[in-house]
Amino acid sequence: MLAMFTRLQPLPERSFFLFGPRGTGKTTWLRHVLPDALWFDLLRTQTLLELSRSPELFRQQVEARPRGSWVVLDEVQRLPALLNEVHALIAERGRAYRFALSGSSARKLKRHDVNLLAGRAINRQLFPLTAAELSYDFDADSILRFGLLPQIRSDPDYATDALEAYVANYLREEIQQEALVKRLDSFARFLQITALMNGQIVNVAGIARDAAVARPTVQGYFETLTDTLIGFWLPAWQRRAKVKEVASPKFYLFDPGVARALAGRLREPLESHERGFLLETWVLHELRAAIAYQNLGGELRYWRTPAGSEVDFVWTRANRAVGIEVKASPTWRPEFGAPLKGLIAQRIVKKGFGVYTGTAELKDGPLRVLPLKRFLQVLAEGEVLT
C-alpha cells in the first residue's frame, strides 16, 4: 500500500494556478484538500474531447454548483481555451466560484498567449517531497540515488523501475504528445548529456556538439525543460565584490533521482563524483520549496569568481542576502567556507550557513555549520531565509 504524505503547501483562499512537474502529487494533493470540488480531469480523453467540442458544458456545470464551490481543472494546459470561460465566470460572478488550475507545463500557456486571468488567480507550485514532509525520516544516500518523488518514497523497493518508467513517460507524454521537439532521439541524447552536467555551468556550444544538434536547437531544448518544470536555471549573483565575478548560469534538474535516471546511472552504485552535485540538487530543491511554501519571495543565485572561489547558493530579497555552502563531506574544513566568510566580512552577505554530511553542529567564524538533517529542519522552521 502506497504511503500518504502530508504536504506543506497551504490551500489558498482564492483561485490559483498550481504548477509542478509530473509525479509531484498535484492531483493527489488537490483531491485531499478539495474533496468536494467539481472536477475536470483533462488527462482523461473523454473529458478532453467533450469540453473541446462543447466548452459551454464547463460553464453549465460550474453554474449548477452552490456559491463558494471549488472547481478543479487538472492539467489545464491541455485545453487552455477553458481559461477564457474561467475568466468570464470570475468577471461576471466575482468570487462565487473558486478555481484550482493545475498543470505540469506552462509552455502551451506561454506559447499561445493564453489568458492567464490578469491576476485573478495567484500562482502556486508543488515540488517533490521535502524532508519535513517525510518527518525527517530518511536515508540520505537513498534520496541522492532515487530522489523525492512521492511514488518513489512511498514504494522504495521499486524505485529503479518507477524512475525509469517516469523518464520514459516524460519523453512520451510531455514531449512527444505535445510536440515540443521535432526529433525525440536528439532530445534524448541532449537529456543524458544535460543530466551528466547537472549542477554545473552550462556550455551550450559544447552540449550542442556532444548531442550532434545545432546550438539554437539546444537553447530550445533548455527552454522545454524549464517550461515543463523539469529543469531550473540558477543565475550567477553579481554584487561587485572586490574581485571579478562569473556571469554564466548553472542548470539543475528538479530532483536528484530524475537526474540519475536521465543520466542512465540508476542501476549503478552512488559514486563519490556524483555526491556533491546531487546533494546541491537536493538542497536547492528544499530551498525552492521553502521559498514557495513559506511565501518568502526573493531570488536564489550562486556566486563564483574566475579563480574558483564559489558560494553554492545566495538568497536575496531587498537588502538581505543569505549564503549557503554545501559539502558532501562528513568532515567540515575551514577552507570550505572561506569564500562565504569573505562575503560576510565585506558585509555583502548578512549571514551564512555551512551544510555537510557530518553529525556535529559547528561554528566556523561567522558561519553556522549544520549537519544536513538539522539544516533542513532549521530551513523548514523559517530560521535560514530571514
Q: Residues 19-53: pLDDT tens digits? A: 999 899 999 999 999 999 999 999 899 999 999 99
What integer is the mean pLDDT of 85-107?
86
Query: Residue 96 is placed in which grid cell?
Result: 462565487
Instruction: Compare 44 and 172 and report the one with higher pLDDT.
Output: 44
User: What is the band of 1 on the pLDDT scale with cuts at 50, 70, 90?
Assistant: very low
Q: Is 72 helix (H, G, I), strand (E, B) or coil?
A: strand
User: What is the band of 2 on the pLDDT scale with cuts at 50, 70, 90?
Assistant: very low
Q: Report which secondary-structure segment, H or E, holds 41.
A: strand 38-41
Domains of the chain with CATH codes: 16-124 (3.40.50.300), 140-380 (no CATH)
Report for 72-81, 237-246, 375-384: range of highest mean pLDDT: 375-384
- Reply yes or no on whether the pLDDT at 201 is more than 70: yes
- Residue 271: what pLDDT? 93
- Residue 377: what pLDDT? 98
- Residue 35: what pLDDT? 96
What integer is the mean pLDDT of 108-130?
73
- Reply yes or no on whether the pLDDT at 4 is more than 80: no
Instruction: Compare 184 and 144 and report the one with higher pLDDT.
Output: 144
- Residue 268: what pLDDT? 95
Maximum C-alpha span of the chain:
66
- Reply yes or no on whether the pLDDT at 167 is more than 60: yes
Q: Is 325 helix (H, G, I), strand (E, B) or coil?
A: strand
- Reply yes or no on whether the pLDDT at 119 is more than 70: no
- Residue 140: what pLDDT? 96
Instruction: Give dist(CA 89, CA 83) in Å, integer.
Output: 10
Q: Return the axis-axis angle of helices 272-293 and 372-380, rounded to nearest 10°.
A: 10
Report for 105-119, 243-257, 263-277: range of highest mean pLDDT: 263-277
Sign of the dihedral defined by the CA atoms of residues 60, 64, 67, 71, in that order: negative
Cell 518507477 maps to which residue? Answer: 162
Q: Report which secondary-structure segment, H or E, holds 51.
A: helix 45-53
What is the rounded (10 degree) CA torsion for 68, 5, 131, 284?
A: -60
- Across the chain, what does the average pLDDT equal? 90
- Residue 87: what pLDDT? 87
